Amino acid sequence: GNSVTQMEGPVTLSEEAFLTINCTYTATGYPSLFWYVQYPGEGLQLLLKATKADDKGSNKGFEATYRKETTSFHLEKGSVQVSDSAVYFCALGVSFNAGNNRKLIWGLGTSLGVNP
């Protein structure tokens, strides 16, 4: 079946440290991959995405590369800021019927805290 395994948190870093949050997936077909972010007290918002193998998604200094050979989509940022403190979710977009309809399969989320 389809599933997402995401690095457990919480993760605590100092400002300007390097961030990696691991995400691996199991899927049939050709899924899309996403990272969403949830800031305190808010709903989720899309951070970046990749729709095919070897695509790199990037936004706000964050990057993730769709690696089909290792079934991974690890999130990285070279220098984190206090404002990056949030919960990060990895997600897989898969078809759920014979048509084009898709739904998202979610990782459990990784809480990131950045100290000044």
Partner 1 sequence: DVKVTQSSRYLVKRTGEKVFLECVQDMDHENMFWYRQDPGLGLRLIYFSYDVKMKEKGDIPEGYSVSREKKERFSLILESASTNQTSMYLCASTNLHRYTEAFFGQGTRLTVV
Binding site for partner 1 (CB under 8 A): 32, 34, 36, 42-46, 49, 51, 89, 91, 93, 96-97, 100-104, 106-109
Give the shortest CB-16-to-partner 1 separation in angstroms. Answer: 29
Closer residue to partner 1 (CB): 34 or 73: 34
Give the shortest CB-79-to-partner 1 separation in angstroms. Answer: 27
* Helix, strand, coil abundance in the chain, percent, nearest 5: 5, 55, 45
Nearest to 78 by CA among 7, 6, 18: 18
Single-letter code of the amino acid located at 37: V
